[in-house]
């Protein structure tokens, strides 16, 4: 199945969700290598982005010019949102995504993210400003509503489509649910039926079985995977193979897995620098070791190591020995 956004043909319709502090450039590059129709950058706050110095990591990490990358922006005022959109488009972004789904209090407290669902008229002004500012496709990511008394995603989707938004991603929870309970994929169907543009189902899509059920219940044109890819950058490729007949990924095991993890780790150290890289990489290493069945003592040793060299020396026994015991 192929989705079209502007002059882009996206296949398969299995996307990597934007996750703050997780889907950075090294991780997105790894997921793209395994196979993903589209990867979305971590959310950038439009105001802070505009005042950041040229060449800062926040701007460099967007990977805006990478072929299958969408850059997500957030904000509460039309003018900064439009200017940020123009800037990332000038940097080479081929798709710009508007964040209306983030439930974090530090985001909604600033009247951004999913807080915009409480003010559809104001949200529409932001959407119109971004669409008018750039020539590249603009997409929207949102939730079912603010809470159970405000399930206005279909209404917002119709207005966004009329304003020129070319694709809509719906996380199947309200903002007030945060990530509790189960995503309501069936509720996404109301959005699908409200618009003609593609709608992508998001929330609790962690493997091929959940992706298939999300599509069945929602009628969506594709799925977006977030936490399901943690520690498994090949997960999107597995889903794409099961649902759309894309080439089957060869999931790494043993020494091959260790090599992949070490490569990811070294990419993070190069990208962030040694001190910050050590801290940022821990969550990823933890997920890899959890999947491999690493013992708690070895896991602790890796995550408390103080130098990249020490970490690299521990990864082989941490991953390969655990897999041999599991086998």
What digits encode the pLDDT tens for the residues 122-138?
A: 999 999 999 999 999 99
177 with 83, same domain: the answer is yes
Kindly state whether residues 264 and 200 are assigned to the same domain.
no
pLDDT at 51 over 50: yes
Co-location of 46 and 183 in the same domain = yes
User: What pLDDT shows up at residue 322?
Assistant: 60
Q: Are residue 187 and residue 299 in the same domain, yes or no?
A: no
Residue 306 among known ligand-binding residues: no
**Residue 234 counted as domain residue:** yes
In a domain, 280, yes or no: yes
Question: Which pLDDT band holds residue 95 (cuts at 50, 70, 90)?
Answer: very high
Would you tell me how many other CB atoms lie within 10 Å of the CB of residue 155? 15
Which residues does residue 14 pair with via DSSP β-bridges, in sequence order?
223
Answer with the one of 194, 222, 244 that is the final residue of a domain: 244
First and final C-alpha spacing in the chain: 37
Judgement on whether residues 114 and 137 belong to the same structural domain of the protein: yes
Please indicate, yes or no, whether residues 68 and 9 belong to a single structural domain of this protein. yes
Residues 201 and 311 occupy one common structural domain: no
Please give the residue range of the domain that contains residue 302: 254-326
Residue 141 annotated as binding site: yes
Same domain, 282 and 144: no
Same domain, 172 and 297: no
**Count of CB atoms situated within 10 Å of the CB of 326:** 9
Look up residue 155 and give its two tokens: 């209404």
Is 186 within the bounds of a domain? Answer: yes
Please count the structural domains in the chain: 2
134 in Cβ contact with 89 (< 8 Å): yes
**pLDDT score of 31 more than 70:** yes
Torsion of CA 119, 173, 201, 46, to 10 degrees: 40
Instruction: Please say which residue of 244, 276, 307 terminates a domain.
Output: 244
Residue-wise pLDDT for 303-313, tens only, equals: 999 999 999 99
Structure confidence at residue 326 (pLDDT): 45
- DSSP state letter for 247: P
- Is 268 found in the same domain as 236? no
Whether 102 sits among the annotated catalytic residues: the reply is yes
Give a yes or no: residue 38 inside a domain: yes
* Whether residues 237 and 259 fall in one domain: no
Contact 54, 83 (CB under 8 A): no
Catalytic residue among 102, 150, 176, 280: 102
**CA-based nearest residue to 126, from 97, 168, 146, 90:** 97
Q: Does 283 share its domain with 158? A: no
User: What is the pLDDT, as a whole number, of residue 54?
Assistant: 58
pLDDT digits (tens, 9 = 90+) for 195-237: 999 999 999 999 999 999 999 999 999 999 999 999 999 999 9
Task: Tell me whether residue 270 is annotated as binding.
Answer: no
Read off the tokens for 161. 């489509």
Is 250 annotated in some ligand binding site? no
């Amino acid at each position: 199945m192929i989705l079209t956004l502007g002059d882009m043909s996206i296949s398969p319709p299995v996307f990597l969700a934007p996750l703050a502090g997780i889907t950075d450039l090294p991780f997105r590059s790894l997921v793209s290598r395994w196979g993903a129709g589209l990867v979305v950058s971590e959310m950038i706050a439009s105001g802070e982005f505009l005042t950041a110095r040229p060449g800062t990591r926040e701007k460099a990490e967007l990977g805006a010019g990478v072929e299958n990358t969408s850059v997500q922006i957030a904000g509460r005022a039309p003018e900064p949102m439009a200017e940020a959109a123009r800037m990332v488009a000038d940097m080479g972004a081929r798709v710009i995504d508007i964040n209306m789904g983030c439930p974090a209090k530090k985001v909604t407290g600033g009247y951004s993210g999913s807080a915009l669902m409480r003010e559809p008229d104001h949200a529409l002004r932001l959407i119109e400003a971004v669409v008018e500012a750039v020539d590249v496709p603009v997409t929207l990511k949102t939730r079912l509503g603010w809470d159970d008394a405000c399930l206005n995603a279909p209404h917002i989707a119709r207005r966004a489509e009329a304003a020129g938004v070319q694709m809509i991603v719906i996380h199947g929870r309200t903002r007030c649910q945060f990530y509790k309970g189960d995503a309501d994929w069936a509720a996404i169907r109301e959005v699908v039926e409200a618009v003609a543009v593609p709608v992508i189902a998001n929330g609790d899509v962690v493997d091929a079985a959940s992706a298939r059920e999300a599509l069945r219940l929602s009628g969506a044109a594709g799925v977006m995977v977030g936490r399901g890819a943690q520690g498994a950058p090949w997960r999107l490729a597995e889903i794409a193979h099961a649902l759309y007949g894309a080439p089957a990924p060869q999931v790494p095991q043993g020494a091959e897995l260790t090599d992949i993890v070490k490569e990811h780790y070294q990419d993070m150290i190069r990208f962030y620098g040694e001190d910050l890289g050590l801290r940022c990489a821990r969550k990823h290493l933890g997920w890899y070791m959890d999947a491999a069945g690493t013992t708690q003592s070895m896991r602790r040793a890796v995550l408390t190591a103080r130098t990249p060299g020490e970490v690299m020396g521990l990864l082989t026994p941490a991953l390969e020995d655990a897999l041999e015991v599991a086998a």
